[in-house]
Chain A
Amino acid sequence: MAAAVEMSKGAVRLGGRTIWSDVDLLVGEGEFVAILGPNGAGKSTLLNVLLGLNHLAAGSVAVLGGPAGSSNERIGHLPQRRVFDSATRVRGVDLVRLGLDGRRWGVPLPFAARFSARSRAERARVAQAIERVGAEAYAERPIGECSGGEQQRLLIAQALVREPRMLILDEPLDGLDLPNQAAVAALVERICREQDVTVLLVAHDVNPLLPYLDRVLYLAGGRGAMGSVEEVITSETLSSLYGAPIEVLQTGDGRLVVVGQPEAPHQHGPRHVLR
Chain B
Amino acid sequence: MNPRFTLDLPSDVHQLLAYPFMVNALEAASVVAVMAAVVGWFMVLRGETFAGHTLSMMSFPGAAAAALAGLPLAVGYFAFCGIGAVIIAGAAEVSGPAGQSQRSAIIGTVGAAALAVGYLLLSLYGGVLESLESLLFGSILGVTRGQVLTLTLVAACVLVFVALAGRPLFFASVDGPLARASRVPVRSLAVAFLLVLGLAVAATVQITGVLLVFALLVAPAGIARELTTRIGLSLALSVLLGLLIAWVGLGLSYYTNYSPGFFSTTLAIVMFALARAARRLGRN
**What residues of chain A have their CB less than 8 Å away from a CB belonging to chain B?**
51, 53, 77-80, 82, 88-91, 94-95, 98-99, 101-108, 110, 142, 158, 270, 272, 274-275
**What residues of chain B have their CB less than 8 Å away from a CB belonging to chain A?**
47, 98, 162-168, 170-171, 174-179, 181-184, 225, 229-232, 236
Which residues does chain B contribute within 8 Å of A99, judged by CB atoms? Answer: 178
Which of B230, B231, B236 has most chain A Cβ within 10 Å? B231
- Inter-chain contact A106/B231, CB cutoff 8 Å: no
Of A89, A90, A142, A158, which one neighbours B178 at CB under 8 angstroms?
A158
With both beta carbons as reference points, the residue of chain A lying nearest to B226 in the complex is identified as A89
Give the CA-CA distance A105 to B168 in the complex, in Å: 6
Give the CA-CA distance A102 to B232 in the complex, in Å: 15
Of A104, A272, A275, which one neighbours B168 at CB under 8 angstroms?
A104
- Inter-chain contact A104/B167, CB cutoff 8 Å: yes
Of A51, A82, A98, A106, which one neighbours B177 at CB under 8 angstroms?
A82
Give the CA-CA distance A80 to B176 in the complex, in Å: 12
Which residues does chain B contribute within 8 Å of A108, judged by CB atoms? Answer: 167, 231-232
Interchain nearest-CB distance for B80 vs A (Å): 29
Of A78, A107, A158, which one neighbours B167 at CB under 8 angstroms?
A107
With both beta carbons as reference points, the residue of chain A lying nearest to B234 in the complex is identified as A89
- Inter-chain contact B170/A98, CB cutoff 8 Å: yes
Give the CA-CA distance A108 to B225 in the complex, in Å: 18
Interchain nearest-CB distance for A273 vs B (Å): 9
Give the CA-CA distance A23 to B177 in the complex, in Å: 27
Given contacts A94-B231, A95-B175, A99-B178, contact A270 B167 (CB under 8 A): no
Given contacts A79-B177, A107-B167, contact A102 B184 (CB under 8 A): yes
Q: A82-B177, A105-B165, A274-B174 are in contact. List 11 more A-B contacts (CB 8 A).
A: A51-B181, A77-B178, A79-B177, A90-B229, A98-B179, A99-B178, A102-B167, A102-B175, A102-B182, A105-B167, A107-B166
With both beta carbons as reference points, the residue of chain B lying nearest to A143 in the complex is identified as B174
Of A82, A91, A104, A142, which one neighbours B175 at CB under 8 angstroms?
A82
